[in-house]
Chain A
Amino acid sequence: MKQTAKGFSRQTVEELSSLCDEPAWLRQRRLEAWRVYEATPMPTLQDEDWRRTDISALALDQLLPFAEAPCAQVDSIAHLPQDLRPLLDVGQPEGGLLVQHDSQVVHLSLAEEAARQGVIFTSLQGAVREQPDLVQRYFMTRCLSPEHGKFAALHGALWSGGAFVYVPQGVEVALPLRVCQWLARPGLAVFPHTLIVLEEGSKLTFIAEQFSPELDGQALSCAATEVYLQAGAQLRHISVQQLGQQVYNLGAQRHLLEEDSRLDSLIIGLGGKLTKLFVESVLEGAGANAQMRGVVFGGDDQHFDHQTLQEHIAPDCTSDLLFKVAVKDRAMSVHLGIVRVHRGGRGTDAGQTVRNLILSQGAKAHPILPLEIEASDIRRCSHAATVGQVDENQLFYLMSRGLSRQDAERLIVDGFFEPVLETIPQLSVQHRLRQAVGEKLGLATP
């Protein structure tokens, strides 16, 4: 089986590039990203962005940066590993499905209709071969560059796997495209990269899911997603994270919105040991609209840190953020939500709300929502954070109908998430998430 040596070095980067048989320009990009990585200090609690998130226990030098999937690429999902299949929603109508196992893409399918419309949906490595110009132009350039931070740089140097999506002008993709990433090997670091480009006036629903079984040993998911929405394009983007509780999840997702484009993004964070996820919408064309929602549910000793950015560069843009967070046991959720309005952002309409439900005494939530406003004539800029326990009146009402305290609490938490979950276009995904939430609630310790 092909793999690189443990730990990360310039040599690892070169090895990986050779292993993937890459063109020189890409190798150069990796090495440049590696240079940035080396020049960037490791984040510590002294850094503003990492003040409440401690990654010092992550043993980077013990991780394997690449491992071939244990099985070869298969055309039929029937040939994929047993544990993986239930997650693939066999039989559900789908526009396309890409499955990644550990570092590699093992399955790819695209509905005929979408292919006929000119939609490109392939592994990023495949796109490097087949669409080099597009990849060269969009990959980690204007949207998410290695300079974004330490782990974006590491990602740029060591990425493997991931998907490339390209929707031509005016094309509306009828059914969702779905990417499923399965991290099954302890000690492995995966760096899947998702690159999405929607040309003018096109329309897409994209669902990305990350899973892993419970692993016996640390692992790292360092994923990056960059999205270009050209004028008038519309994207529904759903990201589900159900990694095992040994996995560090250090990722970034960044959307560039040109004029009159519209983004509906939904982040769902359920798994992982520690998550630091940057979720950024950059509104750089007039009249763009970003709706950013999130559902986070932490239990045990899980730590979540979502850093969101609504960056208003162009005039008359709208952005709205709503994150619903529940924490139990000793879990902790940090939400650093920044609204930044540049001087040119007149007529900005921006709002952010982070609601935290504390289900156990030992659980904590820290919402921090700064506004950075340089424009003088904005329409609205509002932020609100709540931190509270389950409402006693609601509990009494439900218990007066015979529900035990525990069932009443479960119902209230289900209801807290439900209005968001029920908007997910794929019913099988909704169902899986309800189940995951239910299972987490079931294991509540007082």
Chain B
Amino acid sequence: MPQPLFVIEDLHVSVEGKEILKGVNLTVERGQLHALMGPNGSGKSTLAHTLMGNPHFQVTQGRVLLKGEDILSLPPDERARRGMFLAFQYPVEIPGVKVRHFLRMAVKASKGEEPSVTDFRRQLFEKMALLEMDRSFSERYVNEGFSGGEKKRNEILQLAMLQPEMAVLDEADSGLDIDALRAVANGINKLAGPQMGMLLITHYQRILNYVEPHFVHVLFDGRIVRSGGMELAQELEAKGYDWIAGEAAV
């Protein structure tokens, strides 16, 4: 059997001495889209940041395997070069750095070679069109003064330009109006392919009307307490997270 693309094994994570993740297990194969749902504060972003290597979060136990290799000891840039990607729930402003320049640096860093100017431009404009972004956007400073929706689109634009193997999208849908949501979902659908694994973190079932996951998981209090298919998302939508809370307490 071929090796799974991405495996999280019994992952425990603490922040400032407080345990947030209490043993998370999850396997994502190439071509699969997994949705991870959960209430506020359940640890979704903690998981996302830990997978990407944010030094603020301490792994106290467990492994994370990308193409069979444990990546937990690697710095974020090395993880990115090996094919990891994180779309941030709260994208960070980089004042004075233009989107175009930043993307060029990122493409160069992750691919290991400088893209030709014309190829890069062509690709950039193509992907921007896919996400219904105006070209002038590439001349703006990264995330500075962006609306919530623009920030999210910019995250997906980066996903499109970097074409990672394993993408974690942390609430790519929150705060989007219906048009932006459709553009982002459309982008995700176009980018997801047989080679890529995706973990789509979301609060709401809303985006799942546009992007159909193969699996749905529910994170609650630092553990995945339920896994299933689309029907689980619908059940959650109907009954709310209290339902999970009630079950978990039993």
Q: Of B1-9, B88-96, B130-138, which stretch is located at the interface?
A: B88-96
CA distance in complex: A402, B56 (Å) = 18
Q: A408: which B residues are within 8 A, CB to CB? A: 77
Closest to B101 in A: A411
With A400-B76, A403-B77, A405-B77 known as contacts, the answer to whether A415 contacts B96 (CB < 8 A) is: yes
Closest to A403 in B: B109
- The answer to whether the Cβ of A8 comes within 8 Å of any Cβ in the partner chain is no
**Contact indicator A417/B77 (Cβ below 8 Å):** no
Q: For chain A residues 355-409, which have a beta carbon within 8 Å of chain B?
A: 391-394, 396-405, 407-408
**Contact indicator A411/B94 (Cβ below 8 Å):** yes
Q: For chain B residues 73-106, which have a beta carbon within 8 Å of chain A?
A: 75-77, 79-81, 84-86, 88, 91-97, 102, 105-106
**Contact indicator B158/A401 (Cβ below 8 Å):** yes
Q: Chain B's nearest CB lies how many Å from the CB of A347? A: 31
CA distance in complex: A393, B92 (Å) = 7
From B55, B75, B93, B106, contact of A401 by CB (8 A): B106
Closest to A391 in B: B92
From B56, B75, B88, B95, contact of A397 by CB (8 A): B88
Closest to B109 in A: A402
**Contact indicator A397/B105 (Cβ below 8 Å):** no
**Contact indicator A407/B95 (Cβ below 8 Å):** no
Q: B81: which A residues are within 8 A, CB to CB? A: 402
- The answer to whether the Cβ of B141 comes within 8 Å of any Cβ in the partner chain is yes
Q: Chain B's nearest CB lies how many Å from the CB of A222? A: 34
**Contact indicator B94/A412 (Cβ below 8 Å):** yes
**Contact indicator A394/B94 (Cβ below 8 Å):** yes
- The answer to whether the Cβ of A418 comes within 8 Å of any Cβ in the partner chain is yes
Q: Chain B's nearest CB lies how many Å from the CB of A73? A: 41
Q: B92: which A residues are within 8 A, CB to CB? A: 391, 393-394, 396-397
**Contact indicator B94/A398 (Cβ below 8 Å):** yes
Q: A93: which B residues are within 8 A, CB to CB? A: none
Q: Chain A's nearest CB lies how many Å from the CB of B8? A: 18
Closest to B76 in A: A399
With A393-B92, A399-B77 known as contacts, the answer to whether A407 contacts B109 (CB < 8 A) is: yes
**Contact indicator B96/A417 (Cβ below 8 Å):** yes
Total A residues in contact with B, Cβ cutoff 8 Å:
24
Q: A411: which B residues are within 8 A, CB to CB? A: 94, 97, 102, 105
Q: B93: which A residues are within 8 A, CB to CB? A: 394
With A397-B88, A411-B105 known as contacts, the answer to whether A404 contacts B96 (CB < 8 A) is: no
- The answer to whether the Cβ of B54 comes within 8 Å of any Cβ in the partner chain is yes
- The answer to whether the Cβ of B32 comes within 8 Å of any Cβ in the partner chain is no
CA distance in complex: A407, B52 (Å) = 18
**Contact indicator B80/A419 (Cβ below 8 Å):** no
- The answer to whether the Cβ of A147 comes within 8 Å of any Cβ in the partner chain is no
Secondary structure call for the A interface = helix
CA distance in complex: A417, B96 (Å) = 7
Q: A419: which B residues are within 8 A, CB to CB? A: 95-96, 141
Q: For chain B residues 31-70, which have a beta carbon within 8 Å of chain A?
A: 49, 52-56
**Contact indicator B96/A401 (Cβ below 8 Å):** no
Q: For chain A residues 27-65, which have a beta carbon within 8 Å of chain B?
A: none
Report the tally of A-B residue pairs with Cβ distances under 8 A: 82
Q: For chain B residues 203-231, which have a beta carbon within 8 Å of chain A?
A: none
- The answer to whether the Cβ of A14 comes within 8 Å of any Cβ in the partner chain is no
**Contact indicator A400/B105 (Cβ below 8 Å):** no
**Contact indicator B76/A415 (Cβ below 8 Å):** no
- The answer to whether the Cβ of A166 comes within 8 Å of any Cβ in the partner chain is no
With A401-B106, A401-B109, A402-B110 known as contacts, the answer to whether A396 contacts B54 (CB < 8 A) is: yes
- The answer to whether the Cβ of B162 comes within 8 Å of any Cβ in the partner chain is yes
From A392, A399, A400, A418, contact of B97 by CB (8 A): A418
Closest to B102 in A: A411
Q: Chain B's nearest CB lies how many Å from the CB of A405? A: 7
Closest to A404 in B: B77
Q: Chain B's nearest CB lies how many Å from the CB of A356? A: 15
Q: With a 10 A CB-CB cut-off, give which of B80, B96, B105 has the most chain A CB atoms.
A: B96
Q: A398: which B residues are within 8 A, CB to CB? A: 94, 102
Q: Chain B's nearest CB lies how many Å from the CB of A124? A: 37
Q: A400: which B residues are within 8 A, CB to CB? A: 52-53, 76-77, 79-80, 84-86, 88
**Contact indicator A402/B77 (Cβ below 8 Å):** yes
Q: Chain B's nearest CB lies how many Å from the CB of A47? A: 36
**Contact indicator B94/A397 (Cβ below 8 Å):** yes
Q: B95: which A residues are within 8 A, CB to CB? A: 415-416, 419
Q: Chain A's nearest CB lies how many Å from the CB of B112? A: 9
Q: B75: which A residues are within 8 A, CB to CB? A: 399, 405
- The answer to whether the Cβ of A264 comes within 8 Å of any Cβ in the partner chain is no
With A402-B110, A407-B109, A411-B102 known as contacts, the answer to whether A392 contacts B96 (CB < 8 A) is: no
With A411-B97, A415-B97 known as contacts, the answer to whether A399 contacts B91 (CB < 8 A) is: no
Q: B86: which A residues are within 8 A, CB to CB? A: 400
CA distance in complex: A316, B96 (Å) = 32
Q: Chain A's nearest CB lies how many Å from the CB of B38? A: 22
Q: B158: which A residues are within 8 A, CB to CB? A: 401
With A401-B162, A403-B105, A404-B77 known as contacts, the answer to whether A396 contacts B55 (CB < 8 A) is: yes
With A392-B56, A403-B109, A407-B109 known as contacts, the answer to whether A418 contacts B96 (CB < 8 A) is: yes
- The answer to whether the Cβ of A301 comes within 8 Å of any Cβ in the partner chain is no
Binary contact readout B168-183 vs A (1 if CB under 8 angstroms, 0 otherwise) = 0000000000000000
With A392-B56, A400-B86, A401-B80 known as contacts, the answer to whether A414 contacts B106 (CB < 8 A) is: no
Q: Chain A's nearest CB lies how many Å from the CB of B76? A: 4
Q: For chain B residues 103-132, which have a beta carbon within 8 Å of chain A?
A: 105-106, 109-110
Q: B53: which A residues are within 8 A, CB to CB? A: 399-400
Q: A418: which B residues are within 8 A, CB to CB? A: 96-97
12 more A-B residue pairs beyond the given contacts A402-B80, A405-B75, with a C-beta to C-beta distance below 8 A? A394-B93, A394-B94, A396-B54, A396-B55, A396-B76, A399-B76, A399-B80, A400-B88, A401-B110, A402-B110, A412-B97, A415-B141
Binding site for A on B (CB under 8 A): 49, 52-56, 75-77, 79-81, 84-86, 88, 91-97, 102, 105-106, 109-110, 141, 158, 162
A-B contact pairs, 11 of them (CB 8 A): A391-B92, A394-B92, A394-B93, A396-B92, A397-B94, A401-B80, A403-B77, A414-B97, A415-B94, A416-B96, A419-B95
